[in-house]
Amino acid sequence: MTPVTKQARVDSKHSLDVVVDDDAAAPRTDYRALVIGAGISGMQAALDIANSGYEVILVEKDPSIGGHMAQLSETFPTLDCSQCILTPRTVEVGQHPNIQLLTLSEVVGVERMDGDEGNFHVRILRHPRYVIEDQCTACGDCAKVCRVVVPNEFDRGLAARRAIYMPHPQAVPAVYCLDPDACLGLFPLACGECARACERDAIDYDMAPETVEVDVDAIVVATGYTLYQDEAVMAYRYMSHPDVMDGLEFERLLSASGPTGGAVIRPSDRKVPKEVVFIQCAGSRNPEHGVSYCSKICCMYTAKHAILYKHRVPDGQVYVFYIDIRAGGKGYEEFVARAMEEDDTVYIRGRVSKIVPQEGDETSDGQSKVMVWGVDTLTGRKVEIAADLVVVASAIIPSPGAKRLAEILGIDVDTFGFYTAADTEMTPVESGVPGIFLAGVGLGPQDIPETVAQASGAAAKVLSQFAAAKAEARAQAALLSW
Ligand SMILES: Cc1cc2nc3c(=O)[nH]c(=O)nc-3n(C[C@H](O)[C@H](O)[C@H](O)COP(=O)(O)OP(=O)(O)OC[C@H]3O[C@@H](n4cnc5c(N)ncnc54)[C@H](O)[C@@H]3O)c2cc1C
Ligand code: SF4
Ligand code: SF4
């Protein structure tokens, strides 16, 4: 953890200092919420609260907002462009007068204040961007002179970036940031080329971490997910073979704004893969070597991948290994049927037992292959496919740091590290701590519509808490004025 070197108050469009109500007769109306995580769920909750007239502090650990939805190509079952749906929202969040956006930030301390329900004193650690947000015009001159090339996390390593970079072209805030781990050296400065290239004097190598302290009346936790990368997917040679990738990497290949402009080419030799194998439940529903639960969205996004791949490679062939198909959503069953019937996807019921790479000189067409062995449990026959590309639908697991955040907030997680609601049936977005609400995949695997509905549910709970507090304050004021 970066040490705290400086104390500061948020430099806000509105002052974030606690308002002390000197006039007991005037009811307090300036309630404020904290939202942690700026994926689609956190953004939705923030917008709902902000549009109702309350201030929101939105804390995001990454340099830009949008979460995983920003990485997706098109979304099931409508095949709408993900960025086209998301960008108006990220822009609205970035410009909203009631939302104070703190990127590269994390909550490091929360204290429940005595008295009213839902009053929290929060410490937020802001990591330095080394670029002054108000001065950067995103011209890119700094990146042009930077000599360091590292994998771009946003493209899941399928493209490269410089040490000073913007995560992707639609990033909000639309400013660059400097990666201190990749830079040739800041303490002492080893290069300094980017600052010399920046005509706006926007680069500040001396920028230090800051701790911001704020008081809020309610908190929404929306920290989302990451993909499982352990034993069960390693067995499929994920990470050790370039032509075995996970679902998010495939999303970046399919994306029109991705590293290949939407062309499906395999990483090893940049050739178009003609036989693609998808493996569902990679790590999910596997209590011995992965996680025991169903990741819920993989059946759907694999069907989407099959359809989108066939749009790009009409003469290609898709095979899907599955345990069973779970397509419980409006239009979802029909969507999977479309992948099977219109796009000739071959669904094979069974698990893959082994993946063995073969070099070109070992295969009949001279191309290197990934040999996929499994059993079709419906026919009892062994299956062997010489694949050009393998895509594993890895299990959805909680974001790293979710457990630590839960400890800071005093809320519960289940055995897998997903946040748990006080009552999953009747109060599914309420944590056990009054004033702290939950939304999105941090609660468990779910798709975008469910996530958005849950976020609006959490925002509604925050707003009803504020309305009740206001009514109470008015009643007190009325009593005192007698
Ligand atoms: C391959 C793939 C394809 C998919 N395709 C579809 C699809 O077509 N349709 C569909 O409906 N769904 C799809 N999904 C599911 C979709 O990605 C999720 O439903 C959605 O992105 C969840 O949003 P979220 O805000 O809950 O989480 P996330 O998108 O994970 O956002 C969480 C945010 O919180 C931030 N964060 C995490 N920890 C902290 C912290 N401690 N402090 C501050 N910030 C933090 C993260 O950086 C991130 O920005 C797909 C998923 C995968 C894996
Ligand atoms: S830091 Fe300077 S050079 Fe780099 S994008 Fe911003 S304004 Fe341009
Ligand atoms: S100072 Fe660091 S970020 Fe800037 S150009 Fe040099 S290596 Fe790149």
pLDDT digits (tens, 9 = 90+) for 328-384: 999 999 999 999 999 999 999 999 999 999 987 787 778 899 999 999 999 999 999
Which of 70-74, 112-116, 383-387 is least confident? 112-116
Tell which atom from ligand 3 comes closest to the C-alpha of 183. Answer: 2
**Mutation probe of ligand 3 site: the residue of 129, 144, 145, 146 with most atoms within 8 A of C-beta:** 146
At which residue do the structure tokens 């005037």 appear?
26
Report the distance separating Cα 173 and Cα 101, nearest Å: 9
Q: Tell me if 182 CB under 6 Å of ligand 3.
A: no
**Residue 38 CA to ligand 1 centre (angstroms):** 9
Report the distance separating Cα 214 and Cα 225, nearest Å: 26
SS3 149: strand
Contact (Cβ atoms closer than 8 angstroms) between residue 273 and residue 390: no
Mean pLDDT across 256-266 = 96
**Residue 192 CA to ligand 3 centre (angstroms):** 6
Of the listed ligands, the closest to the CA of 308 is 1
Identify the residue whose C-alpha is closest to ligand 3 atom 2.
183
Contact (Cβ atoms closer than 8 angstroms) between residue 35 and residue 12: no
Mean pLDDT across 405-409 = 98
Nearest to 36 by CA among 431, 355, 372: 431
Tokens of 394: 């890895």
pLDDT at residue 116 tops 80: no
Q: Tell me if 185 CB under 6 Å of ligand 3.
A: no
Tokens of 86: 């998301």
Cis peptide before 428 (omega within 30 of 0): no
At which residue do the structure tokens 């529903």 appear?
285
pLDDT at residue 11 tops 60: no
180-200: buried (b, 16+ CB within 10 Å) or exposed (e) per residue? Answer: bebbeebeeeebeebbebbee
Of the listed ligands, the closest to the CA of 142 is 2
**Mutation probe of ligand 1 site: the residue of 82, 245, 250, 297 with most atoms within 8 A of C-beta:** 297
**Mutation probe of ligand 1 site: the residue of 330, 447, 452, 456 with most atoms within 8 A of C-beta:** 447
Report the distance separating Cα 307 and Cα 297, nearest Å: 16
Of the listed ligands, the closest to the CA of 183 is 3
pLDDT at residue 469 tops 80: yes
For position 129, what pLDDT does the model report? 98
**Cα within 13 Å of Cα(99), Cβ side:** 30
Q: Give ligand 1 pocket residues (Cβ under 6 A).
A: 36-42, 59-62, 67-69, 72, 75-76, 106, 222-225, 247-248, 251, 297, 301, 304, 399, 401, 405, 440-441, 446-449, 451
Q: Tell me if 179 CB under 6 Å of ligand 3.
A: no
**Mutation probe of ligand 2 site: the residue of 129, 133, 137 with most atoms within 8 A of C-beta:** 137
Percentage of the chain with pLDDT > 90?
Answer: 83
**Residue 131 CA to ligand 2 centre (angstroms):** 8
**Mutation probe of ligand 2 site: the residue of 132, 142, 145, 183 with most atoms within 8 A of C-beta:** 142
Tell which atom from ligand 3 comes closest to the C-alpha of 178. Answer: 3
Contact (Cβ atoms closer than 8 angstroms) between residue 49 and residue 33: yes
Q: Give ligand 2 pocket residues (Cβ under 6 A).
A: 131, 136-142, 176, 197-198, 200, 202-203
Tokens of 453: 């509905």
Mean pLDDT across 93-114 = 96
Contact (Cβ atoms closer than 8 angstroms) between residue 219 and residue 120: yes
Tokens of 181: 């781990």
Report the distance separating Cα 366 and Cα 426, nearest Å: 60
For position 232, what pLDDT does the model report? 80
Of the listed ligands, the closest to the CA of 245 is 1
Nearest to 55 by CA among 89, 31, 91: 31
Contact (Cβ atoms closer than 8 angstroms) between residue 62 and residue 105: no
Q: How many CB atoms lie within 10 A of CB 143?
A: 19
Give the chain's mean pLDDT. 92
SS3 283: coil
Identify the residue whose C-alpha is closest to ligand 2 atom 2.
198
Q: Left (φ > 0), alpha (ψ -120 to 50) or beta: where does 145 sit? A: alpha
pLDDT at residue 6 tops 50: no
| Res. 3 pLDDT band, cuts 50 70 90 | very low
| Res. 29 pLDDT band, cuts 50 70 90 | confident
Which domains are assigned to the chain? 7-128+208-224+399-474 (3.50.50.60), 228-395 (3.50.50.60)
* Model pTM score: 0.93
Report the distance separating Cα 400 and Cα 249, nearest Å: 19
pLDDT at residue 19 tops 70: no
| Res. 16 pLDDT band, cuts 50 70 90 | very low
**Residue 147 CA to ligand 3 centre (angstroms):** 7
Of residues 470 and 149, which shows the higher confidence score? Answer: 149
Q: How confident is the model over 192-237, as pLDDT tens digits?
A: 999 999 999 999 999 999 999 999 999 999 999 999 998 888 889 9
